[in-house]
Structure 1
Amino acid sequence: MGLVEDRVEAARAAGTLDLGIETIRADKMELLSDRLLRTDPVTGAETRLLRLKLHRRPPVTSWAALQLVCKGTDNIAWLHNTRSGRVALCMPTWPGQDEEGEWIERCYLIRPSGQARMVVAALSGSHWREIDRDAFQIYWEQEVAEAVKNLMVETITMATGLLLPVWHKLPEDDVRVWRIDDGAGSSILGRIIHPAALERIEREFGLDGTTALGPVEIIEGARSAGGVSIPGLGPAKLVRVHVNDSPRLEIRDYRPEDRTWLKACGAFTEVVNYLDQEATVSCDLSDGVSCPSS
């Protein structure tokens, strides 16, 4: 069962899990740009590329709901992160496997606004510390109250309209179709374009390539295999990698003349395979702290 769930989670993360049309509910939706990709020569139907700013509330797990989740489960732990101040309920879960097929003991961390699986060995070396249940409840309810009153603001790029004729030109690594609904009668159906693929899409359809990705989009784009272009740094790309089991961001293919400026921004140089690579300051992503970027 664990292997099946792992594959489902991997497919979900990769965008290949087919659940039909999935809905994103937003409190507010703003149209930032609207560009034409294609007009059908027979029907006149259009395919368009939209830039949308979404304001939405994150899904949260209340304290009462958490009690239902952990009811009847043994070996749970109430954890508090000494660096971020956040809390997480630690529960047992199925083991994973490393590249050599060896079993790895893992745990399941449930947070007020998310969840993740973590290697037990990595947990013991992190900033998570066990606290008593009463203190945990206070922290948990504070996080929930903070989360529900704040709106998440994110910018996405979406291909919408007549998609089938251009389906082969859109990214193959995420084929999900989404519906964006603001609850006020506005609804948009289409495919969300990953930030790392936007440059290729613009080039494929002959667009001007002037879309400026925001910092959050650039960080998200760095998670893709080839990384994402960094505005203003020529051919440089930002790539998310793991070094000694710790995630970090690396700047690759930068121009030699930019090295001094990158170091002034806080990056450091490391020799990898006899090639200099600029990497942003190493950081731990396991507790939800965002990485700095140059």
Structure 2
Amino acid sequence: LANGKLRSTTLDEFQKLTGLELEGEGGGLKEEMPPIQRWLNRILALRIAMQNAIFDEYLGLIEARIEAAKEAGTLDLGVESINAERITILDRTVIRRDQTSGAETEILRLDTEERYKPLALDRALRILGDDARPIVNRKSGKAAIRCSTYSLTDDDGEIVRRYELVRPTRTERMRQDLLLETMWEDASEADFSALWQAEVEEMSGKTRTNTLYLVTGLLLPVWDRLPDDHVQVWRLNTDDGQSFLGRIVPAPLVTKLADAFGIAATITVSGAETAKHVMGTAEITALGAYRLKRSLVAGQQRLELLDWPHTRLAELKVAGCFTEIIQHKTRMFVPVATAATVIDRITA
């Protein structure tokens, strides 16, 4: 509000409408703001249209921060659970043993097998309405429900309109302008139902396997030496009663963590894990002789390859990379859609 980034109102207008005095004598904000109850009471006394506009922008800002924290792994939700069909311990490495109690802190490499639980067609049909439209992707043969969701407000105060796509096995959010460039299109309920049911039947008997690195055991003495990102504590449960509690560490950070404790840990990180880590955290990550970073180019997040010599330009292009000349400089990028394969080729 003070920085003039809201579209619903300005600081001067807000003060006049609500009677709240927010600015001090020097022109800046007062050190002591009115209590939250007074804020809410004054806002609720405004016209309904103004109330809705203010709260829509406020919720958009909150959701943007929540999503950013989720991507960075810094959102604290307490202890969350992963319920798996099967958990297999592939290996375990002790990184600390308490001298008094003998309690150990370990890094476990786990394979988790989770069964897909697709949303049944009858429940999907109940979601449909004026603000939840059936759409299909003619190219992929998949169905989804397109719902309006909160817009985001970027750092410049611009409103970014978005849709939420509800799929049988997942939900994703997409900018409205980017959705228009895809193969998704409106569909009849009959076409939607046929494709939705086909995917439900296809996925019902399938499972997905993930490899996780879990720091478990006595966590408190080592907490400040664990990565600052991804501070979530997870409980992994299986149907046969197995349970593991600890901090999940992204694969690209395991070697760094092992080095911090002075132990040997040879970790093979897949291209998919590396790409996911860089896109999710924006951390610049070593990639063999190169480094990989997330870069915002033309409004889209890309994977950019750093430290590449021009003598290897042709080789990197054969591996699947592409270049663009931006501000008279040739920059190298890894396609996000095929990043896993391209990264594996580069590091082979």
TM-score bucket (shorter structure): 0.7 to 0.9
Fraction of identical pairs, as percent: 32
SS of residue in 1 equivalent to 2:230: coil
Q: Which residue of the partner structure matches residue 342 of structure 2? A: 293
Corresponding position: 1:220 with 2:264: no
Matches of 2:237 and 2:331, distance apart in 1: 43
Q: Which residue of the partner structure matches residue 53 of structure 1? A: 111
Matches of 2:170 and 2:152, distance apart in 1: 20
Q: Which residue of the partner structure matches residue 306 of structure 2? A: 252
How far 1:31 sits from its partner (Å)?
Answer: 1.3
Matches of 2:330 and 2:95, distance apart in 1: 39
How far 1:273 sits from its partner (Å)?
Answer: 6.2
Pick the aligned partner of 1:29 from 87, 94, 98: 87
Q: Which residue of the partner structure matches residue 239 of structure 1? A: 293
Matches of 2:273 and 2:60, distance apart in 1: 32
How far 1:204 sits from its partner (Å)?
Answer: 0.6
Runs of 4+ in 1 over 6 A off after TM superposition: none
- Provide Cα deviations, 1:69-89, integer angstroms capped at 9, x if missing partner: 34xx41332222234332211
Q: From the superposition, tell whether residues 282 and 180 of structure 1 become closer, same or farther in structure 2 (CA, over 3 Å).
A: closer
Greater C-alpha Rg: 2
Pick the aligned partner of 1:115 from 157, 171, 176: 171
Which amino acid in the other structure matches residue 65 of structure 2?
A: R
Which amino acid in the other structure matches residue 26 of structure 1?
A: A
SS of residue in 2 equivalent to 1:167: helix
Partners of 1:196 and 1:227 within 8 A in 2: no
1:124-163 equivalence runs, <5 A:
124-163=180-219
Of 155-164 and 208-217, deviating more is 208-217
Partners of 2:255 and 2:266 within 8 A in 1: no
Q: From the superposition, tell whether residues 226 and 256 of structure 1 become closer, same or farther in structure 2 (CA, over 3 Å).
A: farther
Q: Which residue of the partner structure matches residue 77 of structure 2? A: 19
SS of residue in 2 equivalent to 1:293: helix
How far 1:291 sits from its partner (Å)?
Answer: 6.4
Corresponding position: 1:8 with 2:62: no
Which amino acid in the other structure matches residue 110 of structure 1?
A: V
How far 1:25 sits from its partner (Å)?
Answer: 1.0
How far 1:153 sits from its partner (Å)?
Answer: 0.9
Q: How many residues align?
A: 284
- Provide Cα deviations, 1:5-55, integer angstroms capped at 9, x if missing partner: 443333333333333211111111111211110111111111111111111
SS of residue in 2 equivalent to 1:35: strand
Which amino acid in the other structure matches residue 293 of structure 1?
A: V
1:254-293 equivalence runs, <5 A:
254=308, 258-271=312-325, 276-281=330-335, 283=337, 292-293=341-342
How far 1:198 sits from its partner (Å)?
Answer: 2.1
How far 1:124 sits from its partner (Å)?
Answer: 1.4
Of 259-268 and 29-38, deviating more is 259-268
- Name the Cα RMSD after superposition: 2.4
Q: Which residue of the partner structure matches residue 87 of structure 1? A: 143
Pick the aligned partner of 2:286 from 196, 217, 229: 229
- Provide Cα deviations, 1:82-141, integer angstroms capped at 9, x if missing partner: 343322111122222122112232222111111122222221122211121111111111
Q: Which residue of the partner structure matches residue 52 of structure 2? A: none
Matches of 2:311 and 2:266, distance apart in 1: 24
Q: From the superposition, tell whether residues 199 and 277 of structure 1 become closer, same or farther in structure 2 (CA, over 3 Å).
A: farther
SS of residue in 2 equivalent to 1:80: strand
Q: Which residue of the partner structure matches residue 66 of structure 1? A: 124
Partners of 1:75 and 1:92 within 8 A in 2: yes
TM-score, with structure 2 as normaliser: 0.74
Matches of 2:209 and 2:136, distance apart in 1: 27
SS of residue in 1 equivalent to 2:268: coil
Matches of 1:121 and 1:25, distance apart in 2: 36
Q: Which residue of the partner structure matches residue 23 of structure 2? A: none
How far 1:290 sits from its partner (Å)?
Answer: 7.5
Partners of 1:38 and 1:48 within 8 A in 2: yes
Matches of 1:202 and 1:113, distance apart in 2: 35
Higher helix proportion (structure 1 or 2):
2
Q: From the superposition, tell whether residues 291 and 107 of structure 1 become closer, same or farther in structure 2 (CA, over 3 Å).
A: farther
Partners of 1:95 and 1:106 within 8 A in 2: yes
Q: From the superposition, tell whether residues 267 and 102 of structure 1 become closer, same or farther in structure 2 (CA, over 3 Å).
A: closer
Pick the aligned partner of 1:41 from 96, 99, 118: 99
Structure 1's unaligned 5+ residue stretches are: 284-288
Partners of 1:196 and 1:222 within 8 A in 2: no
